[in-house]
């Protein structure tokens, strides 16, 4: 796919790990409540795109595998579900404020690519996840970065 794009999704393994994703098969990536990330989910993240699945607040913090987008952005219905983990009364089915995508696990890394490694590896210095204070939970990744990280992880 010529216009395939690449992303990095952060998740705290305490809350939702790569193993959980493998177990679940397809997962709805809901609960994102940040406008910058929302715009990416709504406008830019398309079926077939590649995802680096990153464990934050973990030991070690690392990209642990890849996932594939199986459904492009659509309204996050958990926003108007008062029983959900992230309700937002300002979002409604008529005027959805938040978006999500569906993803499924692809290739688990043999060797997790740690944050420590990302910070020092040639070609990865610019990766957003390695920048100080980069809190965005959905980040763009260049095809060069994708190639380097997946090659390292898959061995």
Partner DNA sequence: GCCAACGTTGGC
List contacts with DNA (CB under 7 A).
Answer: 10, 12, 34-36, 56-58, 61, 115-116, 129, 132-137
Nearer of residues 22 and 39 to DNA, judged by Cβ? 39
CB of 120 to DNA, least distance (A): 11
Contact predicate 7/138, CB 8 Å: yes
CB of 2 to DNA, least distance (A): 30
Nearer of residues 32 and 152 to DNA, judged by Cβ? 32
Nearer of residues 43 and 48 to DNA, judged by Cβ? 43
CB of 132 to DNA, least distance (A): 6
- How far apart are alpha carbons 63 and 29 in whole angstroms? 17
């Amino acid at each position: 796919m010529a216009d395939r794009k690449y992303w990095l999704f952060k998740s705290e393994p305490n809350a939702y790990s790569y193993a959980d994703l493998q177990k679940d098969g397809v997962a709805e990536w809901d609960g994102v409540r940040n406008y910058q990330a929302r715009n990416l989910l709504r406008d830019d993240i398309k079926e077939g795109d590649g995802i680096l699945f990153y464990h934050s607040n973990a030991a070690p913090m690392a990209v642990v595998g890849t996932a594939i987008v199986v459904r492009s952005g659509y309204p996050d219905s958990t926003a108007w579900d008062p029983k959900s983990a992230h309700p937002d009364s300002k979002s409604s089915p008529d005027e959805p404020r938040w978006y999500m995508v569906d993803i499924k696990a692809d290739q688990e890394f043999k060797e997790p690519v740690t944050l420590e490694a990302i910070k020092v590896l040639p070609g990865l210095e610019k990766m957003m996840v390695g920048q100080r204070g980069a809190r965005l939970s959905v980040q763009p990744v260049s095809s060069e970065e994708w190639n380097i990280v997946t090659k390292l992880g898959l061995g």
